Amino acid sequence: MKIAAVFLLVALSSCFDSSTALVNTDLVSCLKTLLVKNTPDLIKELQRLLCLYKQGKDENNEALYRQFLKELDTLLQTAGCSLDQILGTKDVLETTTDKVGDVASDVAQKLLEAVDFLQVLGTVLNTVCDLTKQPLGSVSDILGISLPSLTGSLGF
């Protein structure tokens, strides 16, 4: 009987998808709440925010990174969440000074992973940014890095 239990545990562990364990569950929960409230508006807002982040990255513009973080925090607060809750920090918007680009990059990556987990990544990426008049593009275009868990499964 003990041997059967061990085999059952091994079988179950091999079925566990570790890629979903890396997704920020607080952010997923928060986005689910927002999706229930108004899916089309959330998609448009996520597109706009990711365009803002991408423009900040392209221009290496600290003010745009801050704007991205503040506006995302405002969006999350409408669902009862906060950027600090998602990042596990305290007053990140006030205390981040010289590494705001790194914080924005980390947040953008978590956001894209959560959107992918909710299976709306393709819809979110399918837009032309108003400010730059360029397509939002792919995950690697936005972050400047390749995320195999996202890009491999979706062809981005």
Domain range list for the chain: 22-154
Q: Is the pLDDT of residue 50 over 80?
A: yes
State pTM to two decimals: 0.74
Q: What average pLDDT score do residues 59-71 get?
A: 93
Q: What is the pLDDT of residue 68?
A: 93
| Under 8 Å between Cβ of 114 and 46 | no
Q: Which helix (H) or strand (E) holds 22?
A: none
- Three-class DSSP category at 135: strand
For every residue of 98-132, which 3-state class applies, written as one string? CCHHHHHHHHHHHHHHHHHHCCCHHHHHCCECCCC
Helix axes 100-117, 62-77, angle to 10 degrees: 40
User: What are the counts of helices (DSSP H) followed by strands (DSSP E) for the chain?
Assistant: 10, 0
Q: Which helix (H) or strand (E) holds 4?
A: helix 2-15
Residues 124 and 84: their CA atoms lie apart, in Å, by 23
Residues 93 and 12: their CA atoms lie apart, in Å, by 41
- Three-class DSSP category at 136: coil
Task: Using pLDDT thresholds of 50, 70 and 90, give the confidence band for residue 156.
Answer: very low
Q: What average pLDDT score do residues 25-35 get?
A: 89
Task: Using pLDDT thresholds of 50, 70 and 90, give the confidence band for residue 59.
Answer: very high
Instruction: Give the list of residues 6+ apart from residue 133 with CB closer than 8 angstroms, or none.
Output: none
Q: What is the pLDDT of residue 115?
A: 87
Residues 125 and 5: their CA atoms lie apart, in Å, by 45
DSSP state of 31: H
* Pairwise pLDDT comparison (139 vs 38), residue with the higher score: 38
Q: What average pLDDT score do residues 67-78 get?
A: 92
- Three-class DSSP category at 133: coil
Q: What is the pLDDT of residue 71?
A: 94
pLDDT digits (tens, 9 = 90+) for 92-109: 777 777 788 898 999 999
Q: What average pLDDT score do residues 36-61 get?
A: 90
DSSP state of 72: H
Q: What is the pLDDT of residue 23?
A: 84
